[in-house]
Amino acid sequence: MKILYRKKIFYGWYIVGALFIANFLMQGGVRNGYGIFVETWEKEFVASTASISLAASIGWLINGLSQPILGRLADIYGGKIVALISLIVLAIGGMGIALANGVIYLIISYGVVISIASAGLSPATVGVVIVRWFNKRRGTALSILAAGGSAGGLICVPLMAYLMLIYNWRVAWVAIAILGLFSVPIIWILVKNHPRELNMKADGENIENSNDSDSNKINKGVLFVEDWKDSLKSWPIWQLSAGYFVCGITTSSMGVHYIRWAVSEDVSTNTAALAFGILSAVNVISVIIVGIYADKLERRKMLGWVYLVRGFAFVTLIIFPGYQAVWIFALLGGMSWLATVPLTSSLTADIYGVKNLGVLFGLATLSHQIGGALATYLFGYAFDLYGDYNIPFLIGAITLLGAGIVSFAIKEKKFSLRYVTNTI
pLDDT in tens, the chain (424 residues): 444 445 578 899 999 999 999 988 887 777 777 878 888 999 999 988 888 888 888 988 898 889 888 988 988 888 899 999 999 999 999 999 999 999 999 999 999 999 999 989 887 788 889 988 988 888 788 888 888 877 887 788 888 888 998 999 999 999 989 988 999 999 999 999 988 888 888 877 665 555 544 444 555 667 777 777 888 888 999 999 999 999 999 998 888 889 889 999 999 888 888 888 888 889 889 988 988 888 888 999 999 999 999 999 999 999 998 889 999 999 999 898 888 988 998 898 888 887 777 788 888 888 998 998 899 889 989 998 998 899 999 999 999 999 999 999 999 988 887 887 554 4
Residue 219's H or E segment, with its range, is: strand 219-220
- 3-class SS of residue 144: helix
CATH architecture entry for 10-199+217-423: Up-down Bundle (1.20)
Phi, psi angles (nearest 5°) of residue 401:
-60, -45
**Residue 340 amino acid letter:** T
Cα–Cα distance between 382 and 386 in angstroms, integer?
6
Chain center to CA of 152: 12
Domains in the chain: boundaries: 10-199+217-423
Using only the alpha carbons of the chain, give its radius of gyration.
Answer: 21
**Residue 247 amino acid letter:** C
Residue 190 near residue 319 (C-beta atoms within 8 A): no
DSSP character for 206? B
Cα–Cα distance between 350 and 346 in angstroms, integer?
6
DSSP character for 320? S
Cα–Cα distance between 127 and 264 in angstroms, integer?
38
Output the pTM of the full model: 0.79
Q: Is 226 exposed, middle or buried (0-12, 13-18, 19+ CB in 10 A)?
A: exposed
Residue 84's H or E segment, with its range, is: helix 79-97
Residue 292 near residue 143 (C-beta atoms within 8 A): yes
Amino acid 208: pLDDT: 58
Q: Give the residue among 149, 128, 148, 178 at the shortest CA–CA distance from 33.
A: 149
Amino acid 418: pLDDT: 80
Sign of CA dihedral 84, 85, 88, 89: negative
Geometric angle at alpha carbon 172, from 103 and 375, rounded to 5°: 45
**Residue 371 amino acid letter:** G
Amino acid 398: pLDDT: 97
Residue 390 near residue 257 (C-beta atoms within 8 A): no
Amino acid 106: pLDDT: 92
The residues that bridge with 424 in the sheet, in sequence order, are: none
Q: Is 258 exposed, middle or buried (0-12, 13-18, 19+ CB in 10 A)?
A: buried
